[in-house]
Amino acid sequence: MSEQNLSSPKDAPVSRGRPKDPAKRLAILNAAKDLFLALGFTGTSMDAVAAKAGVSKLTVYSHFSDKETLFCAAIEAKCGSQMPEEMYTLDAGAPLSDRLQAIGEAFLDMLYHDDSLQLMRLISAVGAQDQTMANLFYEAGPVRTRSEMIRFLDRAVELGLMQVPDPERASEVFFGMLQGGCTHIQIIIGCAEPPSREEIAQHVTEVVRVFMRAYQSE
């Protein structure tokens, strides 16, 4: 067969499915979040998610291939709504301390949100029996946040704003200082109320001051 007779990829018919409805996707994610919080990963079925979202089971599967994907997407949506990727963008000349302050405050706002506290308490209670849920939460939540922070620190080093020999370790130091010790544990187990926005801002300011003293370029 000559080269002229071969059809190019652009000549091939393109198969297009129906575009996915963003409103239905959001409804599915919200329904999944509520059910996972109430019933855990094992106790939540795709049928129940479809019923609560007011869509068909086929629609749920058209957006999310399986329950694991749906759970990860729900966690990622929660993180993304409170700590979007743009938050970790650092441009030349941007005040480093302001960006760290914004990241720190958003992190604690997310950490001490009612939904986050409920989920962490649920995972603490059932994690040993529902290891899939615990593993998926860790990958979609904490690992995502750490990865974005590492990217931010790499950029700060690139711009000559910080000296960070080990960005992964530095990200652990930053988030570790934000969470603190005993008070954080008290909040997680329900023995203390989450801090106010003013208290969060004050705490983050102190953390940023110490963090920059440790890693800022001379």
Could you give the CA distance from residue 188 to residue 111 in angstroms, rounded to a whole number?
10
**What is the pLDDT confidence band of residue 79, given thresholds at 50, 70 and 90?**
confident
Q: Which of 115, 117, 113, 93 is nearest to 105 (CA)?
A: 113
Mean pLDDT of 17-44: 87
- Between 49-53, 91-95, 129-133, 148-152, the lowest mean confidence (pLDDT) is in 129-133
For the residues 178-186, what does the mean pLDDT come to? Answer: 90
Q: Could you tell me if 92 and 141 are in contact, meaning their C-beta atoms sit under 8 angstroms apart?
A: no
User: Amino acid letter at 184?
Assistant: H
pTM over the 0.85 mark: no
Are 118 and 37 in contact by the 8 Å Cβ rule? The answer is yes
Return the minimum-mean-pLDDT range out of 35-44, 173-182, 207-216: 35-44
- Mean pLDDT taken over the chain: 87
